[in-house]
Structure 1
Amino acid sequence: MSGKRSIFEEVSDDTPRRPAAQPGLIDRGRGGARRGIRAWLMVLFALVVAMIVVGGLTRLTDSGLSITEWRPVTGALPPMSEADWQAEFDKYRQIDQWRLENQWMELEDFKRIYWWEWSHRQLGRFIGLVWAVGLLGFLIARRIPPGWTGRLLIPGALGGLQGAIGWWMVASGVVSGMDVTSVASYRLAIHLGLAFVILGVIAWYVFLLGREERDLLQARRARERRLFATATGWMHLAFLQILLGALVAGIDAGRTYTDWPWMAGQFLPPEPFETTPIWRNFLETASLVQFMHRMVGYALLAYGIFAWARGRGSAHEATRFAFNAALAALVVQVVLGIVTVLYAAQLHVAITHQLVAVLTWVLILRARFMAGYPVADTIRGAKK
């Protein structure tokens, strides 16, 4: 039995102590290289945006059918001699686009459109390489957080599918004797739509990796369910508008009716159902496709104002700001859409319209994310 101690006696270091609290137990073993993976995904995001821009320029310059074969590996090398260039030009001269529209072309003219399509395909190969090398590196280093390996495989799988769909799209225009001079508009819509899906997946991962796992778990309990559902509807309507924009680009519908707010001086365009069967008009008749794009644009703006009004009621400052930013981008996009019509889809205006579509899409996703994983405010207003 131990003796009595003086109140002034020092306690020895071997006195049992309560173990110190260790913060971040949720993240222990789960952190991985969150910052490194996030940076890698941001590089992929920027490359996909560049891919969308180059793809848009390829379409606007009517360059997409200049390469008439799909050679995923050997096609990485461009023609290396004049004989090679002539062989590629001869293949192009066998399709309807050259026969009906471009017989005026000489070899030098062909080279200009060839380089656009080659650059588009080459950028796709480079994106695949960046994804594969990055994922392999994180796997070898064992720095992928638990539960993220499958997620990080998704962008690569979607990218591979995108390459196949890209050729499926091009193949619809590489024909002879069918009087076809461009790719099928619905295939172009699927191709662009998948590009925005890939962009959205990467952006969502970047949002998730920007927060610690414990913060995400806490934030999810505070999810604003009604606001999250509203933002989900906004996202779906925006995606529909993106698909319709691709249909407009696919048949050059943006260059047909260049007055606003009317079309040829009236609300409904003339002869919107001139093709049979009737369903083809919704994909191939320029007047009806542009009309649908306009109407869904108005609906998207109206819904965006509704979503923004709901977002203003959020208890979280960061969420309110996210909805403000999404609506602001949407308003700019609507104005740009009108300008694109008035200027008959001139190259610089049309590509700016496409870029702002990317920005609007990502900001709507950001608003949805903030509704699902709100950042709480302290009493002093600081985020926690």
Structure 2
Amino acid sequence: MATAILMPPLRARLALKAQEAAFTCRRCLHQQQSTSPTLRLLRQQRPLSRRLEQLQHSRLQSTAPTYQPSSSPLGALSQTITRNAAPHTKSAPKASSFPDTSSKSVAYWLLASATSVFGIVVFGGLTRLTESGLSITEWRPVTGSFPPRNQEDWESEFALYRQSPEFKMLNSRMTVEEFKKIYWMEWTHRLWGRVVGITFLVPTLYFIARKRVSAPMARRLLGICGLIGFQGFIGWWMVKSGLKDDLLETGSHPRVSQYRLATHLGTAFIAYLAMLWNGLHILRENRLVNNPAEGAKLLDTLRHSSLRPFRRYVAALSGLIFVTAMSGALVAGLDAGLVYNNFPWMGQNILPPKRELLDPFYSHTPDNSDLVWRNMFENPVLAQLDHRVLATTTFTAVLSLWAYARYNPAVRSMLPRSGRVAVLGLVHLVSLQVVLGISTLWYLVPTHLASAHQAGALALLSGVVVLGSRVWVPKRTLRLVQQAAAQLQGKSGGQVAKGGSEAVMRAKIWRPISS
């Protein structure tokens, strides 16, 4: 009788404990209520390991539709863990999709390809300075990779060259042995171009097929491949302009068109800068994503409003340097460096006479409507003056950027150390370039100084691209860093929640036994 009187409170107590622990469903609770008091007392006396196994099994197997895990603290904790884990499951890329970030090996390959393009640009300048670019008068993309193998092949190539305007007007006394020297220069330049194309196309296809690059980077690499192929066509288009008499001005020196030369050089510069920029971008993106806490902090600093004018200044400066380099290509194509060889004077004054700057000889219309732009692009005197003005403006702009970064309090406090180092390096590069340009004029365009001056232009462009890569904040990179930071916080929160749930479980198990 005493047992019967005490059992109803005990039954209610056991039911309340089961709901708080959230380990049993209603069906199981109903079954427990229908059992005898003796069995309930025996179950309370089971070992702890057996009870834990039974509670975990009942929690996994419960499928009652009225079960609500949020009715207990442990259930709410389970929902929190599930919500934190959901973003990671959604953001995980599929096995067949492109990764979010490109591999570092792609970046190293891009930088190596950029180095090769830098070298071929310098070698191409040497080919032009030694007047070797017109020695090969045919464009054979495949069979042209093989040089002449015997004397008969050399005689055949030399016979083709003797039909060119350059041989007739300048090199009519050239022998076969002298022809071989200029031929090897042009052949090496063309072979190098083919090597650049193959060593870029094949790895591009490999990296895309193996999913080693992100989807945007895959499109960029394919675009660079197309640019390299287009560059080969432009190269022959340029050489062709110096092989026909109808493309030359009456009485002019046999040379390629300055327009086509500038196009050929500009395309090479763009391909080089694209490789350099994307290689640096991949390395920077991987570094920021792998350390999202520091990466998010750095990007937040760079996004500060005080650095927005600085980034715009860097973008405008890169455009100015590129335009200055292209004006140098016009000077080279017109041999304008041989007109006035003193600096800062041009003759007796800072500016040459007006009749030399705007010469009606270069106008092709009766009303002289094209007088200004024709002289800008075809008159050696005005072309050299334009290059001097642009070069001086570039030098002043770089020094102004350095002063802005150093003496503006907001920029100086927000600009990271890598940015300050890049600005100082840019000052050194532009100073060296000015010295090379003036020396090239003073010494009547010697080959070694002219080639170094062309290399300096590309090095200066490289410097401003490096600076831009250190202060620019791509939206996609920012999003990836934010996602990585959120995942890192989610993992930390999940570990804390897991430890808390284990503590609650131990408390729920021990409480009925201790009571």
Structure 1 length normalisation: TM-score?
0.88
Deviations 1:71-93 (A, max 9, x none): 11111111122111111111111
* Worse overlay, 220-229 or 237-246: 220-229
Give the number of the structure whose residues are more often helix, by fraction. Answer: 2
Which of 402, 419, 422 is the matching residue for 1:308? Answer: 402
Structure-to-structure mapping, 1:1-80, within 5 angstroms = 29=93, 30=99, 33-80=102-149
* Worse overlay, 90-99 or 177-186: 177-186
Deviations 1:220-262 (A, max 9, x none): 5533321111011101110110101111111221122211111
Residue 434 of structure 2 is matched in structure 1 by: 334
Is the Cα–Cα contact under 8 Å of residues 266 and 326 in structure 2 kept in the other structure? yes
Size of the aligned set, in residue pairs, is 373
% identical aligned pairs? 35
Counterpart secondary structure, 1:210 = helix
Per the alignment, do residues 176 and 90 of structure 1 end up closer, same or farther by CA in structure 2, a change over 3 Å counting?
Answer: farther
Residue 254 of structure 1 is matched in structure 2 by: 337
Unpaired segments of 5 or more residues in structure 2? 1-13, 22-47, 57-73, 94-98, 290-294, 364-370, 475-515
Is the Cα–Cα contact under 8 Å of residues 155 and 176 in structure 2 kept in the other structure? yes
Q: In the TM superposition, what is the alpha-carbon distance from 1:66 to its structure 2 partner?
A: 0.7
Is the Cα–Cα contact under 8 Å of residues 27 and 214 in structure 1 kept in the other structure? no
Residue 151 of structure 1 is matched in structure 2 by: 220
Residue 192 of structure 1 is matched in structure 2 by: 265
Residue 277 of structure 2 is matched in structure 1 by: 204
Is the Cα–Cα contact under 8 Å of residues 193 and 232 in structure 2 kept in the other structure? yes
Is the Cα–Cα contact under 8 Å of residues 102 and 282 in structure 2 kept in the other structure? no
Separation in 2, partners of 1:369, 1:288? 35
Q: In the TM superposition, what is the alpha-carbon distance from 1:149 to its structure 2 partner?
A: 0.9
**One-letter amino acid of the counterpart of residue 295, structure 1:** V
Structure-to-structure mapping, 1:129-144, within 5 angstroms = 129-144=198-213
**One-letter amino acid of the counterpart of residue 285, structure 2:** E
Deviations 1:353-378 (A, max 9, x none): 1122111101111222222139xxxx
Separation in 1, partners of 2:351, 2:91? 58
* Worse overlay, 311-320 or 12-21: 12-21
Q: In the TM superposition, what is the alpha-carbon distance from 1:296 to its structure 2 partner?
A: 0.7
Separation in 2, partners of 1:41, 1:26? 32
Which of 282, 298, 319 is the matching residue for 1:236? Answer: 319
Unpaired segments of 5 or more residues in structure 1? 375-384
Separation in 1, partners of 2:166, 2:224? 34
Separation in 1, partners of 2:92, 2:128? 49
RMSD: 3.1
Residue 280 of structure 1 is matched in structure 2 by: 374
Separation in 1, partners of 2:264, 2:460? 19
Q: In the TM superposition, what is the alpha-carbon distance from 1:106 to its structure 2 partner?
A: 0.5
Residue 379 of structure 1 is matched in structure 2 by: none
Counterpart secondary structure, 1:104 = coil
**One-letter amino acid of the counterpart of residue 283, structure 2:** G
Is the Cα–Cα contact under 8 Å of residues 67 and 88 in structure 1 kept in the other structure? yes
CA radius of gyration, larger in: 2
Is the Cα–Cα contact under 8 Å of residues 362 and 379 in structure 2 kept in the other structure? no
**One-letter amino acid of the counterpart of residue 385, structure 2:** F
Structure 2 length normalisation: TM-score?
0.66
Per the alignment, do residues 26 and 228 of structure 1 end up closer, same or farther by CA in structure 2, a change over 3 Å counting?
Answer: farther
Counterpart secondary structure, 1:182 = coil
Is the Cα–Cα contact under 8 Å of residues 172 and 184 in structure 1 kept in the other structure? yes
Separation in 2, partners of 1:35, 1:27? 21
Separation in 1, partners of 2:313, 2:258? 30
**One-letter amino acid of the counterpart of residue 82, structure 1:** Q
**One-letter amino acid of the counterpart of residue 185, structure 2:** W
Deviations 1:16-46 (A, max 9, x none): 9969999x99996535552110011011101
Counterpart secondary structure, 2:194 = helix
Q: In the TM superposition, what is the alpha-carbon distance from 1:213 to its structure 2 partner?
A: 5.5
Residue 229 of structure 2 is matched in structure 1 by: 160
Counterpart secondary structure, 1:212 = helix
Separation in 1, partners of 2:283, 2:91? 14
Separation in 2, partners of 1:283, 1:25? 60
